[in-house]
Amino acid sequence: MVHLIGSYDCKVDAKGRLMMPAALKKQLAPALQDGFVLKRAVFQPCLELYPMSEWNLLMQKVNKLNRFKKKNNDFIRRFTAGVKMVEVDANGRLLIPKNLAVFAAISKDIVLNSAINIIEIWDKDRYETAIDDAVGDFADLAEEVMGDDDANELS
């Protein structure tokens, strides 16, 4: 499993390409030859970049859904809408397809944010807004999400 670290400010050129930051490229070195999957995020107005190994693990879960249930088919269709396979080119650039750039309102200034095993690609202003909006609720959210895990406490 991949464990990525860091947030990186970047720029997208006129053709929709971003230069992968050296520190991130180093973390992703084993995944560079396998390529990536780029998709719309489910909960946020950003994109998600999955190393192929992580995408394959996720697809194993999705593939277990019973397709004779309408809600499962609807989920699969929406979840995979606009999904693209992408690669980092020899110059270290990654091309963001136009339809995905439009979805995430990506124009020039962006943030690449590690989210454990994937990278979120945000328009910089939207990222700052999302972080600012979450500040007040973060302590409560942290307690709710992580606070009940007593298994790691020392006795």
Q: In DSSP terms, which residues pair with 10 in a beta bridge?
A: 110
The three-state DSSP-derived secondary structure of 87-124 is CECCCCEEECCHHHHHHCCCCCEEEEEEECCEEEEEEH
* 94-153: pLDDT as tens digits: 999 999 999 999 989 999 999 999 999 999 999 999 888 766 677 777 788 888 765 555
* pLDDT tens per residue, range 3-40: 899 999 999 999 999 999 999 999 998 888 899 999 99
* Calpha distance 86→96 (Å, rounded): 8
**Residue 155 banded pLDDT, cuts 50, 70, 90:** very low
Q: Which of helix, strand or coil describes residue 22?
A: helix
Contact 2, 56 (CB under 8 A): no
Q: Would you state the pLDDT for residue 134?
A: 67
What value does the mean pLDDT take over residues 77-106? 94
Mean pLDDT across 50-66 = 95
The domains located in the chain, with CATH, are 7-146 (3.40.1550.20)
pTM strictly above 0.85: yes
Q: Mean of the pLDDT values across residues 57-66?
A: 94
